[in-house]
Amino acid sequence: MSARKGAGVLELAVLGLLHESPMHGYELRKRLNTLLGMLRTFSYGSLYPCLKQLLAEGLIIEDSPDEDVRTVPSRRSKIVYKLTAEGKEHLQKLLTEAGPAAWEDEGFGVHFAFFAHTRADVRLRILEGRRSRLDERLESVRAALARTRERVDSYTLELQNHGLESVEREVRWLNEIIGRERAQAEQAKTTDNPR
């Protein structure tokens, strides 16, 4: 029933970037790593096999690299990829799924990075999913911390606190964004239907 298992994150990132503009692997990797900034990096060892697979699935194709008039013809070292129609469709489908894959640690960053191409309601559900995921974690860690209180040395405590504060900070960040999204949705509604 379910389509494929494939390399979730990387797949989405590649399709998303190729949607913005066709590119070859080497360039793709750089854009990938700056796009995700501090979140993740990918090596060629995972990128090229992924491209190969997407190609085999017909989601991308080689785009003849723009054979400039005065360059020697039939030279080919760069392989520029672009999305096929099915690729675009598949990307849209991925960007519409607002499930755990979109808000768990591995996937959230990439999904967020392509929010500009994501429907407003889906954005909101992903943001809320992420927030409640983090809330859960905070609660369980706080509970564990309360049980262990005073039985850990100061370094361990410091580490746990720092971790806690990092997550709290992400939750505040999410709250800000969620607020903005809602305001925007509200405004869109009244614009659609004035008075």
Partner DNA sequence: TTCGTCATGTAATGGGTTACATGATTAC
Partner DNA sequence: GTAATCATGTAACCCATTACATGACGAA
Residues that bind its own copies (CB under 8 A): 33-35, 37-39, 109, 112-116, 137, 141, 144-145, 147-148, 153-156, 158-160, 162-164, 166-167, 169-170, 173, 177
Q: Which does 167 bind (CB under 5 to 8 A by kind): DNA, its own copies, none?
A: its own copies
Dist CA 104 CA 162 (whole Å): 20
Residue with tokens 């096929």, as numbered in its chain? 84
Shortest separation between residue 75's beta carbon and its own copies, angstroms: 28
Q: Which helix (H) or strand (E) holds 81?
A: strand 80-83
Task: State both tokens at 106.
Answer: 């591995």
Please choose which of its own copies, DNA, none residue 122 contacts, taking the beta carbon within 5 to 8 angstroms, the exact cut-off set by kind: none
What residue type is assigned to position 27 of the chain? E
Radius of gyration, CA atoms only, the chain? 21
Of 13, 15, 5, 1, the C-alpha closest to 86 is: 15
Q: How far apart are CA 186 and CA 29, in angstroms?
A: 38
Stretch that binds DNA, among 19-27, 130-138, 149-157, 168-176 (CB under 7 A): 19-27
List the one residue out of 165, 91, 179 whose CA is nearest residue 127: 179
Residues 48-107 that bind DNA (CB under 7 A): 48-52, 75, 77-79, 106
For residue 9, give both structure tokens: 């994150």
How many other C-beta atoms lie within 10 A of the C-beta of residue 108?
22
| Smaller CB separation from DNA, 71 or 193 | 71
Residue among 52 and 172 whose Cβ is closer to its own copies: 172
Options 3, 34, 45, 69; binder of DNA; rule CB under 7 A:
45
- CB of 7 vs its own copies, minimal distance in Å: 20
Choice between 41 and 161, CB closer to DNA: 41
Residues at the site binding DNA, with contacts judged by CB under 7 A? 5-10, 24-27, 41-46, 48-52, 75, 77-79, 106
